[in-house]
Amino acid sequence: MKELELYLHIPFCRKKCRYCDFISFAGCEEMTDAYVDAVCREIQTTAGYYQDRKIVSVYIGGGTPSILSCGQIERLMQCLMSSFRISGFRAKRRGLYLQKKSLPEVEISIECNPESISHEKLKLYRRLGINRLSIGLQSTDDADLKMLGRVHDFNTFAAAFEAAREAGFSNINIDLMQAIPGQTLAAWKKVLFITGTFHPEHISAYSLMIEEGTVFEQLFREGRLDLPDEDTEREIYYYTRDFLEKAGYRRYEISNYSLPGYECRHNIGYWTRADYLGLGLHASSMINNVRWKNTDDLSKYIAGAGTEEREVLSRKEQMEEFMFLGLRLTDGVSRKEFFDLFKQDLDHTFEGVIPKLRSEGLLLSEGDQIRLTDRGMDVSNTVLAEFLLTS
């Protein structure tokens, strides 16, 4: 049976962070009920097309999914579980229960922010079969959190993390943000050290990007954002890798680290071009090399509007994506897999590029695998751009 990943978008947050350009709305709590109804409607009208697919992962992202009330998240999960073929689950009239003999093979993640986590919600998540939490921390320093426009402080995070462990979660990601305004290497070392004391199974450490339309972009344009210089940014980046590797985390993607066996299955699906179905506002899907996106207009979505953009990926685009996405993974890409998919030789397709990058020490070829070197990872944007095909 062919596999499928599901993504559900919850576009609500308590407050807009100053760097964020995601589709998320602050102060719209009164719309969450209608939104959950709209997502349930989309699930019910869509699921019929995918009954021949086995769902291998569900990712509830946002926004801040933990902002939903217990009743709302239960309604959403119940609808999802009773509509799709999700292994290890059966729907009951008054709730969802794991089938006793069959533990879920499926990874079900939910993104949470510390200020909206509660014991009650965590217990419910467990009962609903959610088996992975991704908590947005960003920094352990309260002054940083304030500057980023986050709602929570460090103590709120610490209490939320402890509550998650108490509730039985054994697969938790912590999101961190590096190279933020005013950050020194010494300050970042402290952030990483403190984060490490929680022993999460997974850490994502992305560098701050200045995105259009954000408060940070405005400050940047006015010259009022004190970003670390390039050398400090590099030092922070290398330190992250070295510190986390010494602590037992493996970097498996440019910005993602995990203890062995705790890599995020859902995200690996994106990087290996697995089929995924996105549900909710502005959610993207890619199935059988057709990509589409839902509307980004909240009122229209609630009123029942669906897909707005649809694109069939050409063979050239598929091959480029195979490389751009696959080379983000430290394991790289497989020549055999490329041949099985496209019936042509990878080295021949990217003739000239691979020997050039190898001679520059940016790429390694090891048997069937091609992967970026550490140096190649450092300059991945430039390296990956080399895989654009001209014809």
Q: Give the H or E element holding residue 25.
A: strand 25-26
Min CB(111)–ligand SF4 separation in Å:
8
Closer CB to ligand SF4, 13 or 124, in the complex: 13
Decide: 337 and 319 in contact? Cβ < 8 Å.
Answer: no
What one-character DSSP code corresponds to residue 151?
A: S
Q: Give every CB contact of residue 287 below 8 A, 6+ residues apart in sequence.
A: 4, 275, 276, 277
Per-residue mark of binding to ligand SF4, 104-123 (x: CB under 6 A): ---------x----------
**Among the candidate windows 30-38, 56-64, 293-301, 338-346, which touches ligand SF4 by CB under 6 A?**
56-64
Q: Please identify, among the stretches 17-25, 115-123, 239-247, 278-286, the one whose residues bind ligand SF4 according to the rule CB under 6 A.
A: 17-25
Q: Is 269 in the site for ligand SF4 (CB under 6 A)?
A: no
Among 4, 20, 179, 354, binds ligand SF4 (CB under 6 A): 20
Q: Examine residue 22 and tell whether it contacts ligand SF4 (CB under 6 A).
A: yes
- When binding is defined by CB under 6 A, the residue of 24, 178, 294, 349 that contacts ligand SF4 is 24
Please give the Cα distance from 372 to 332 (Å, whole number). Answer: 7
Residue 25 touches ligand SF4, criterion: CB under 6 A = no
CA distance readout (Å), 266 to 58, 277, 280: 7, 12, 17
Nearer to ligand SF4, 136 or 332 (CB): 136
Rounded least distance, CB 330 to ligand SF4, Å: 26
Q: Is 310 helix (H, G, I), strand (E, B) or coil?
A: strand
Half-sphere exposure of 221 (CA within 13 A, CB side): 7
For the chain, the first-to-last Cα distance in angstroms comes to 34
Count of residues engaged in binding ligand SF4, rule: CB under 6 A: 11
Q: If you ran DSSP here, which 8-state letter would residue 198 be given?
A: T
For ligand SF4, the closer of residues 149 and 196 by Cβ is: 149
Reading the block at residue 184, the tokens are 């020194």
145 binds ligand SF4 (CB under 6 A): no
Which of 4, 9, 53, 62 contacts ligand SF4 by CB under 6 A? Answer: 62
Write out the binding residues for ligand SF4, residues 188-217 only, by CB under 6 A. Answer: none
What DSSP letter does each residue of 60-104 carry, written as one string? EEES-GGGS-HHHHHHHHHHHHHHS-BTTEEEETTEEEE-TTS--
d(CA 4, CA 14): 31
Would you say 109 or 113 has its CB closer to ligand SF4? 113
Among 4, 13, 137, 327, binds ligand SF4 (CB under 6 A): 13
Name the minimum Å distance from CB 390 to ligand SF4: 37
Partnered with residue 61 across adjacent β-strands are 9
Stretch binding ligand SF4 (CB under 6 A), from 18-26, 160-168, 178-186, 368-376: 18-26
Is 16 near ligand SF4 (CB under 6 A)? yes
Angle subtended at Cα 263 by Cα 259 and Cα 264, rounded to the nearest 5 degrees: 140
What does the alpha-carbon distance between residue 381 and residue 25 come to, in Å, rounded to a whole number? 30
Residues that bind ligand SF4 (CB under 6 A): 13, 16-17, 20, 22, 24, 62-64, 113, 136
